[in-house]
Structures are given as C-alpha cells and as structure tokens.
Amino acid sequence: MEKLYSILEPYDSWWNDEGEEKNLEARKALQDFYKELKKLRPSKKYEKNIVHFSYVPHLVKIKKALDEKRYMRACNEIISLMHYEPFLQGRIYYNVLKLLEKEVVENFV
C-alpha cells in the first residue's frame, strides 16, 4: 500500500491549484496508480465497516473530480478513500479499478 500512496502523494491537493502542468502530471500519476493497483489482489478477508457502502461517497467525489479534469483533487480523494476505508476489499478495489480504467486509462492512452 505504501507504493500506492507514494504515487499519489506528490499530487495530493484538494484545491487543484498548482497549475495545468502539475494537474497533467497528476493524471499520469493516476495512470501509474492504476497499473500498480492492478498488480495487487483484493483481500479475501471481509473487513466489517460501520456501513457496507460507506465508500460510495468517496467514489462519487473521485468521479466528479475526474469529470472536471481536476486530477490532483482525484488523487486527494483516492488517498482519503485509502485512509478511511478497507481499500483492498473487493467491493472497493474493483470499483476503483473500473472507475480509473474508464476515466483515466481508456480516455488518455
């Protein structure tokens, strides 16, 4: 997980106010993050959380940031998701992969 954090942390800015060049670097970081995440496998052990779907608002925020082309904000939102939720649970892992594949990988490769 540390490697995943290290890819996104240089671009962790909710404000997304460091210029277009840095924002485009964040998009590249999201592509790299996707590639590294695909190398991992989801956890086989279910980790109970207070609410099974508590990660969904994070996904909505990530999607919104990507739609607005605020890639630094998307990095920030993914870091928050990794911090607050059991990120390698299948329900989260596969949804993040699918979202990044559709919004960052397919649209820009």
pTM: 0.90
* Amino acid, res. 7: I
Q: Which residues contact 40 (CB under 8 A, 6 or more apart)?
A: 88, 93
d(Cα 68, Cα 6) in Å, to the nearest integer?
24
Task: Judge contact between 47 and 93, C-beta under 8 A.
Answer: no
Task: Judge contact between 57 and 85, C-beta under 8 A.
Answer: no
What mean pLDDT is predicted for residues 5-25?
96
- Write the pLDDT tens digit of every residue in 50-104: 667 789 999 999 999 999 999 999 999 999 999 999 899 999 999 999 999 988 8
What mean pLDDT is predicted for residues 4-8?
97
- CA 28 to each of CA 31, 46, 104: distance values in angstroms, whole numbers, following the listed order: 5, 31, 9
Q: What is the pLDDT of residue 106?
A: 77
Token pair 């990660």 is found at: 55
